[in-house]
């Protein structure tokens, strides 16, 4: 859509509609993931069939990575219906794998961590939406830091150094706090460009929702390392 033919009020309305769709889909994905994780955790048999079977568990993890890649890389070739279905499928699969946290942490501390994460996410998202500062420079720095964090985390799987574990935890929180603000601003700017039709808006909203969903989930998992009370 050529936004030059629209008034500022119309552009702002379209942008507001797009952002609302992004957060609606992100919220729905979080709700689905949480519901699936809680349901699996409520059944020892279901939990054992997923967490107790390494083939199934790692298969789900690889499937999640594949789905994120497909949704992100092939979004323009997918129909809006297919993209929506894959997005929902991803949130379900993530709920299956995240059920493992109920084995490690108490339900009360998971709930507390969720609300702390939601508050932190909201603050940084508001900042990213309202700040006049261009956060583009954050993107490259945060991406490099994220790659370094992934490498460091893999190394520590073998090293098993507790101090290094906590350093990665704090760095992870900082990275995803920053990414929340950066991605929010990027989504806001993307929405201002306009869309040619409802399908393109839907697919754009799903990509934005996926980015924020991943920021939230990863931030939650790193904060859970700090606040989570481990089961005896």
pLDDT digits (tens, 9 = 90+) for 99-123: 999 999 999 999 999 999 999 999 9
Proportion of the chain above pLDDT 90, given as a percent: 84
Residue 232 domain-assigned?
no
Tokens representing 166 are: 């906590």
Residue 208 domain-assigned?
yes
Inter-axis angle of helices 54-73 and 80-98, nearest 10: 150
Residue 1 domain-assigned?
no
- Count of structural domains within the chain: 1
pLDDT number for residue 36: 97
Q: Which residue would you say has higher pLDDT here, 193 or 85?
A: 85
Residue 198 domain-assigned?
yes
Q: What is the pTM of this model?
A: 0.94
Residue 128: is its pLDDT beyond 80? yes
| Domain boundaries, position 173 | 7-227
Measuring CA to CA, which residue among 42, 55, 40 is closest to residue 99? 40
CB 28 within 8 A of CB 61: no
Express each pLDDT in 23-73 by its tens digit: 999 999 999 999 999 999 999 999 989 988 889 999 999 999 999 999 999
């Amino acid at each position: 859509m050529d936004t030059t033919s629209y008034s500022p009020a119309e552009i702002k309305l379209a942008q507001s509609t797009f952002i609302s769709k992004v957060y609606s889909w992100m919220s729905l994905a979080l709700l689905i993931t949480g519901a699936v994780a809680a349901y699996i955790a409520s059944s020892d048999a279901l939990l054992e069939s997923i967490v107790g079977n390494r083939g199934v568990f790692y298969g789900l993890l690889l499937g999640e990575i594949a789905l994120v890649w497909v949704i992100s890389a092939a979004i323009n070739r997918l129909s809006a219906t297919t993209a929506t279905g894959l997005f929902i499928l991803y949130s379900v699969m993530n709920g299956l794998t995240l059920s493992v946290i109920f084995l490690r942490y108490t339900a009360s501390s998971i709930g507390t961590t969720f609300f702390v994460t939601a508050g932190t996410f909201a603050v940084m998202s508001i900042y990213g939406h309202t700040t006049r500062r261009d956060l583009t420079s954050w993107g490259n720095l945060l991406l490099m830091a994220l790659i370094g964090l992934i490498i460091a985390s893999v190394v520590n799987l073998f090293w098993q150094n507790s101090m290094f574990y906590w350093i990665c935890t704090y760095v992870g929180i900082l990275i995803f706090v920053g990414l929340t603000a950066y991605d929010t601003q990027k989504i806001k700017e993307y929405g201002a460009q306009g869309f040619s039709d409802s399908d393109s808006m839907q697919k754009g909203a799903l990509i934005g929702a996926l980015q924020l969903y991943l920021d939230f989930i990863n931030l939650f998992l790193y904060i859970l390392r700090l606040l989570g009370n481990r089961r005896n």
